[in-house]
Amino acid sequence: MSENLNELLKQRAEATGVAGNRATFEFGTETFSFLDPVLMDDEEKEELAELTHDVDIAEFYMGEDEYERFVSTTATIELDNGETIEVTGSSSIFFLAFREHLKGLTDEDPAGNPTRPNRSSRRAAVRKRQKRR
């Protein structure tokens, strides 16, 4: 049986709210977007692999104009105790949104563990089973 990738991408877009290859998040009163890492093409992945600094990586995902708009935005956040804090966009704040997006792509079991182990943990499990034999 073959997988219908068209249907899979449709379901993913409906479940995550990601249309095309960009994901969105809200900060302050603005909405921003960034490249969805799952849907990046090989050329984009090669370009990303050359970057080493958080600021450059955040700008890559958002795009130069979007990132400039983001770092020029200050959000006023009201805390439960009634106090307010002001937070200005930065690469660190972007990566909070980025991690939340990635968490939404992975289900967790009741213990909080990912339901699909990553590749290295799958390989480690295979090696462990082979040692037992």
Contact 94/24 with Cβ under 8 angstroms?
no
**pLDDT tens-digit readout, 101-120:** 888 876 655 666 655 545 55
Bridge partners, residue 75, by sequence = 87
pLDDT higher for 21 or 27?
27
pLDDT band at 29 (very low <50, low <70, confident <90, very high): very high
User: Is residue 68's pLDDT more than 70?
Assistant: yes
User: What domain count does the chain have?
Assistant: 1
Query: Is residue 68 classed as helix, strand or coil in its secondary structure?
Result: helix
Instruction: Label the pairing between strands 22-27 and 84-88.
Output: unpaired
| Domain limits for position 50 | 5-132
Range list of H helices, 17-90: 42-49, 54-62, 64-71
Residues 6+ apart with CB under 8 A from 15: none
pLDDT higher for 102 or 76?
76
